[in-house]
């Protein structure tokens, strides 16, 4: 069985940006996602951890080693279990105000009991219910997070979840959470896809105003460019034309549609 140092892959991407990766497929391959990416930004005064992962192994000792004497803020891009699993290790969590109550309660992950992977047995100590955050602070669209020499703007991007957010730094880095990534994006039900397209258009317009942009999704590939948002927007626009190719995914209670570039996971509920 892996230790926490073996479970997390720690990548120093820049002097002040670490990517901390977990293999989500090693927890449950039925989510059709291989990697989860957590991000640690080191400002001159304060560090920011973006998401806390699946909660299988202790995360805080690793973060403490990396941030030095800086203060720490911890933020969830949204409330899904693979992004909030270690919330309880930290004193305070920031999340969009819509999902504040959700992470203030335990997160039921009993569905993972049927995972084919043995590592999920580590969740038995929680009885397959992730502990809630100790204290939750709400965020809203337009909020600014100040780390000293580095600031991030909160962008509300509903679709993947009602309270999903992205974060844009003052040096043109966009952290998209699960709003946009290559692989298998999880989308709202079909009738809500026009609203999600509006979310993507909002991000595209914002990014096109920048001289350049680096995009850091919370799953699979990083760093990517603006083409991710444009590819995803174009693909979702075309879903109606390939709707008859859909396949039912009973585990996710969704439809799967594969257009060769994305494998869309579209909610049925």
pLDDT in tens, 40-85: 999 999 999 999 999 999 999 999 999 999 999 999 999 999 999 9
The SS3 of residue 261 is coil
**Is 147 a residue whose pLDDT tops 70?**
yes
Q: What is the mean pLDDT of residues 35-41?
A: 98
Per-residue pLDDT reduced to its tens digit, 206-240: 999 988 999 999 999 999 999 999 999 999 999 99
Q: What span, in angstroms and rounded, lies between the C-alpha atoms of 88 and 83?
A: 12
Number of other residues whose CB lies within 10 A of the CB of residue 211: 5
User: What band does 6 get if pLDDT is binned at 50, 70 and 90?
Assistant: confident
Residues 141 and 239: their CA atoms lie apart, in Å, by: 29
> Is 60 exposed, middle or buried, given 0-12, 13-18 or 19+ CB atoms closer than 10 A?
middle
Average pLDDT estimate for 187-214: 94
Among residues of the chain, what percentage have pLDDT more than 90?
Answer: 96
**Residue 1 confidence (pLDDT) above 60:** no
Q: C-alpha 123: how far from its chain's center?
A: 20
Domains in the chain: boundaries: 4-186+199-231
* Whether 26 contacts 9, CB under 8 Å: no
On the question of pLDDT at 183 being above 70, the answer is yes
Q: In what order do the strands lie in the sheet with 9-14?
A: 9-14, 17-23, 35-42, 46-50, 71-75, 93-96, 136-139
Q: Determine contact, residues 151/145, Cβ cutoff 8 Å.
A: yes
Q: Which range (91-95, 186-190, 198-202, 208-212) has the least confidence? A: 208-212
Looking at residue 269, its pLDDT comes to: 87
Which of the two residues, 198 and 6, has the higher pLDDT score?
Answer: 198
Is the pLDDT reported for residue 205 higher than 70? yes
Q: Residue 4: its pLDDT value, please?
A: 65
Structure tokens at 184: 């298998």
- Cβ-contact 247, 207 below 8 angstroms: no
Are the C-beta atoms of residues 88 and 132 closer than 8 Å to each other? yes
pLDDT, mean of residues 234-254: 96
Better-predicted residue by pLDDT, 209 or 165: 165
Strand 93-96 to 254-258 pairing:
unpaired
Q: What is the pLDDT of residue 211?
A: 86
Structure tokens at 140: 């809203």
pTM as predicted: 0.95
pLDDT at 3: 61
Q: Report the Cα–Cα distance between both ends of the chain, in Å, rounded.
A: 36
What is the average pLDDT across 150-164?
Answer: 96
CATH classification of 4-186+199-231, choosing from 3.30.43.10, 3.90.1150.10, 3.60.15.10, 3.30.930.10?
A: 3.60.15.10
Between 2 and 260, the more confident residue is: 260
pLDDT for 96-132, tens place per residue? 999 999 999 999 999 999 999 999 999 999 999 999 9
**Within the chain, what is the greatest distance between any pair of CA atoms?**
56
């Amino acid at each position: 069985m892996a230790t926490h140092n073996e479970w997390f892959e720690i990548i120093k991407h820049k002097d002040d940006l670490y990517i901390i990766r977990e293999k989500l497929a090693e927890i449950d391959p039925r989510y059709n996602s291989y990697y989860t990416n957590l991000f640690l930004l080191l400002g001159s005064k304060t560090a920011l951890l973006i998401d806390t992962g699946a909660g299988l192994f202790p995360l805080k000792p690793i973060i403490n080693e990396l941030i030095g004497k800086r203060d720490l803020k911890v933020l969830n891009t949204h409330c899904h279990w693979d992004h909030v699993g270690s919330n309880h290790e930290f004193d305070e969590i920031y999340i969009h105000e819509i999902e504040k109550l959700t992470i203030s309660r335990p997160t039921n992950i009993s569905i993972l009991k049927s995972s084919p992977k043995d590592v999920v047995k580590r969740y038995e100590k929680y009885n397959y219910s992730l502990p809630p955050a100790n204290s939750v602070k709400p965020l809203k669209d337009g909020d600014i997070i100040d780390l000293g020499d580095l600031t991030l703007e909160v962008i509300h991007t509903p679709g993947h979840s009602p309270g999903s957010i992205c974060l844009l730094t003052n040096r043109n880095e966009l952290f998209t959470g699960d709003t946009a990534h290559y692989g298998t994006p999880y989308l709202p039900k079909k009738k809500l896809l026009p609203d999600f397209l509006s979310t993507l258009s909002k991000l595209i317009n914002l990014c096109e105003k920048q001289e350049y942009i680096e995009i850091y999704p919370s799953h699979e590939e990083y760093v990517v460019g603006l083409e991710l948002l444009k590819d995803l927007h174009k693909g979702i626009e075309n879903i109606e034309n390939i709707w008859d190719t859909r396949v039912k995914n009973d585990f996710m209670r969704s439809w799967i549609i594969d257009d060769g570039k994305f494998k869309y996971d579209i909610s049925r509920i």
